[in-house]
Structure 1
Amino acid sequence: MNPAQRRPSMGDVAARAGVSYQTVSRVLNEPEIVRPATRDRVLEAISTLGYTRNRAARALKTARSSLIGVLTDNLSLFGPAETTTAVETAAREAGYSVVLTSMTSEPHSARQVGAELLGSGVEGILVIAAHEGMSPAVTAAAGSAPVVVVSAQPPREAGVEMVGIDQAHGSQIVVEHLQRTGVRSIAHLAGPTDWFDAQVRRSGFTAALEHSGLDGEVVGPGDWTPRAGYELTTALIASGLPDALFAANDMIAIGALHALHEHGLRVPEDVSVVGFDNTLGAEFLIPSLTTVAQPFAEVGQEALRHLVSLVDGEHPSVQAPHTLPPRLVVRRSTRPERTH
């Protein structure tokens, strides 16, 4: 190999910084015990040379792979895709690399990919458990490695931790907002029955509806697509529209907006529309879409933090699901809230 193309080593860093090999190792592994001036000199040498750790060599020395497995499904959808990106970013910032595996539609796929992840040497597994079909993967991995699920529903397996977003609270803040705008009846355009997010958004809606005293109903389920929103809304137009439509995601809301426009109905003057997810571009719809924004970055960071603590042998004192709150983003597809 041409010496000019050789990958920089710790010895190269030590020589450039004027320190020992052991000092470079301490800066990489225990920086707090190295004097600040020396540490800065080593870090400058690392940056100048473009040195990166050899993970394979490190794994041989420490018996740690610094690999996290991430199992997901249906990355074409906004929620799973954003969650996966957030987890990957958080893992990279924590010094871990991600082995990403997507489920297939083949029988026993979840169990197989769970076993394959374990065979790749990952230290722990994050399962983005969006629907019931992911549960076998959690079961397959739970007994062999630390597992954290990113989900709207607590896992059934003992010892598996959950991090998620409070989907029921998302539905609640939608109903409360619509009530403050003067709405008296709401229809929830529901998502797929086997998806955990859809299940909790639906149950959260019915609970909030009962608490508010408003009239309402659940229609569907749909399949997360604009087509589903279009068809469900077209059927409601024929049978009698409520004052507001609360779609289980923004894609369903987009289909609803199209159906209302096609029938000459004004949003929000004739009917208000609310989505869920705050999908990229929701603010550029006509009218701009009121929706629920989910803290995907925070969920990724929190899930990764929980998994790393389990990998390091730390066990939280309270074994309980951890959920983060979403927030309502009010735009022009709903009327202004009343001030009295």
Structure 2
Amino acid sequence: MADVARAAGVSAQTVSRTLRDSPNVNAETRRRVLDAVDQLGYRYNSAPKVLSSGRSFTLGLVLLQAGGYFSRSAVTDGVEAAARAAGYSVSITTIAELDPALMEKALFKLSDQGVDGIVIAVPLISVTQRMEDITREIPTVTVDGSRTTGAKVLGIDQREAGRIATQHLLELGHRQVWHVAGPDEWIEARQRRQGWQEALAEAGIDAPPPLEGDWSPESGYRQGRILAMIPEVTAVFAASDEMAFGVIKALRERGRSVPGDVSIVGVDDIDLAAYCHPPLTTVRQDFYRSGAAAVAVLLGSAGAVEPAVEPPTLTVRASTAPPAR
């Protein structure tokens, strides 16, 4: 820091204020300091700040490598934007599969880094005692269905997402709605399937067997080939937009038009949903806002009102229509 101060012609205290983004540094001085930082390759050491404040000003984020690129990207963007606005950095760790041992390892890694809080965006169903211990010790918020006794849960109502999608198809006049579900080990997939079943039951309709995918377009395509061979299929609820894309491709290859022969609803409202052919009717979820809200909960003062997550809403486009006569 002293070297930077000499190169910039300022005091070490001014360098410190500049690196802490203090408003009490004028633009010209800030430019000279930052130029000196770049020229000398200076890297700010946060260890003294951690020792003096008892905080690392870093938040941890746990993600799953597979399953839903859009949702992972949007949650990450929301967490990082909210953390940056509050003066925090984000340490991201991913796990390759839904395995409690891998989750334990990820949480221990973040704990060793001394993070001030953790956002879990991994839908683990089983929780170990070690996971419980860490989430009680470090403030934790889950946004993807995971449950521990120490963590706060901030999630979108996935049952409602399934109900909204199914009710839309029933209200159009379809007498049955088939379902391409997500992987059974995902809590979201289970909840969306439950919402689908409840909406059918309320209408006095027995639910057909769900067809399970893995969130990918390929799995939707495989299940879509099966659906295309069932003449009475006129409506499909796919548990993700990407699987819906695969279903549409399979139906078309078998001569079934969308929505002329079969109506399709997805979930997520990813950017591509509005640009596929036909544009996809889908249940929108604001993953970015969920990530930002999780940070607000972690950093909020005791007793503060937790920010609400937007409920799922239906975006109607051209992939749904009343059944053909």
- TM-score, scaled relative to structure 1: 0.79
Of 96, 106, 111, which residue of structure 2 is paired with 1:113? 106
Q: Describe the shift of the 1:139–1:171 C-alpha distance in structure 2 as closer, same or farther (beyond 3 A).
A: same
Q: Secondary structure at the match of 2:288?
A: helix
Equivalents in 2 of 1:109, 1:295: separation in Å? Answer: 27
Of 155, 158, 164, which residue of structure 2 is paired with 1:164? 155
Q: Would you say the 8 A contact 1:13–1:49 is kept in 2?
A: no
1:232 corresponds to 2:258:
no
Counterpart residue number, 1:32: none
Counterpart residue number, 1:18: none
Counterpart residue number, 2:40: none
TM-fit CA distance, 1:302: 1.3
Counterpart residue number, 1:93: 85
State the identity as a percent: 32
Counterpart residue number, 1:245: 236
Q: Would you say the 8 A contact 2:132–2:150 is kept in 1?
A: no
- CA deviations 1:246-266 (Å, max 9, x no partner) are 101011111100111001111
Of 119, 122, 146, which residue of structure 1 is paired with 2:115? 122
Q: Describe the shift of the 1:45–1:145 C-alpha distance in structure 2 as closer, same or farther (beyond 3 A).
A: farther
Equivalents in 2 of 1:104, 1:250: separation in Å? Answer: 22
Moved more, 272-281 or 126-135: 126-135
Counterpart residue number, 1:324: 310
Q: Secondary structure at the match of 1:165?
A: coil
- Report matched runs for 1:129-208 at 5 Å: 129-132=122-125, 138-152=131-145, 155=147, 157-208=148-199
Q: For residue 14 of structure 2, what is the amino acid of its counterpart?
A: D
TM-fit CA distance, 1:215: 5.5
Of 41, 60, 64, which residue of structure 1 is paired with 2:51? 60
Q: Would you say the 8 A contact 1:149–1:162 is kept in 2?
A: yes
- CA deviations 1:288-330 (Å, max 9, x no partner) are 1111111112211211111113xx6x25689xx9653122111
Counterpart residue number, 1:33: none
Q: Describe the shift of the 1:115–1:61 C-alpha distance in structure 2 as closer, same or farther (beyond 3 A).
A: same
Q: For residue 150 of structure 2, what is the amino acid of its counterpart?
A: G
- CA deviations 1:216-251 (Å, max 9, x no partner) are 424222111122212212222323442211101011
Q: Secondary structure at the match of 2:155?
A: strand
TM-fit CA distance, 1:85: 2.3
TM-fit CA distance, 1:9: 6.6
Unmatched 5+ stretches in structure 1: 15-20, 29-38
- The CA RMSD over aligned residues, in Å, is 3.3
Counterpart residue number, 1:289: 280
Moved more, 206-215 or 289-298: 206-215
Q: Describe the shift of the 1:91–1:25 C-alpha distance in structure 2 as closer, same or farther (beyond 3 A).
A: closer
Of 58, 76, 79, which residue of structure 2 is paired with 1:84? 76
TM-fit CA distance, 1:108: 2.0
- CA deviations 1:26-57 (Å, max 9, x no partner) are 995xxxxxxxxxx6x64657765566986433
Q: Would you say the 8 A contact 2:263–2:319 is kept in 1?
A: yes
Q: Describe the shift of the 1:118–1:184 C-alpha distance in structure 2 as closer, same or farther (beyond 3 A).
A: same
Equivalents in 2 of 1:26, 1:103: separation in Å? Answer: 33
Q: For residue 93 of structure 1, what is the amino acid of its counterpart?
A: A
TM-fit CA distance, 1:188: 0.9
Q: Describe the shift of the 1:44–1:158 C-alpha distance in structure 2 as closer, same or farther (beyond 3 A).
A: same
Counterpart residue number, 2:41: none
Q: Would you say the 8 A contact 1:152–1:167 is kept in 2?
A: no
1:276 corresponds to 2:278:
no
Moved more, 216-225 or 92-101: 216-225
Q: Would you say the 8 A contact 1:148–1:306 is kept in 2?
A: yes
Equivalents in 2 of 1:237, 1:79: separation in Å? Answer: 28
Q: Describe the shift of the 1:13–1:107 C-alpha distance in structure 2 as closer, same or farther (beyond 3 A).
A: closer
Q: Would you say the 8 A contact 1:278–1:292 is kept in 2?
A: yes
Counterpart residue number, 1:12: 14
Q: For residue 132 of structure 1, what is the amino acid of its counterpart?
A: I
TM-fit CA distance, 1:65: 1.1
Of 206, 212, 221, which residue of structure 2 is paired with 1:221? 212
Equivalents in 2 of 1:5, 1:133: separation in Å? Answer: 56
Counterpart residue number, 1:211: 202
- TM-score, scaled relative to structure 2: 0.83
Q: Describe the shift of the 1:183–1:145 C-alpha distance in structure 2 as closer, same or farther (beyond 3 A).
A: same
TM-fit CA distance, 1:116: 1.6
How many pairs does the alignment contain?
A: 311
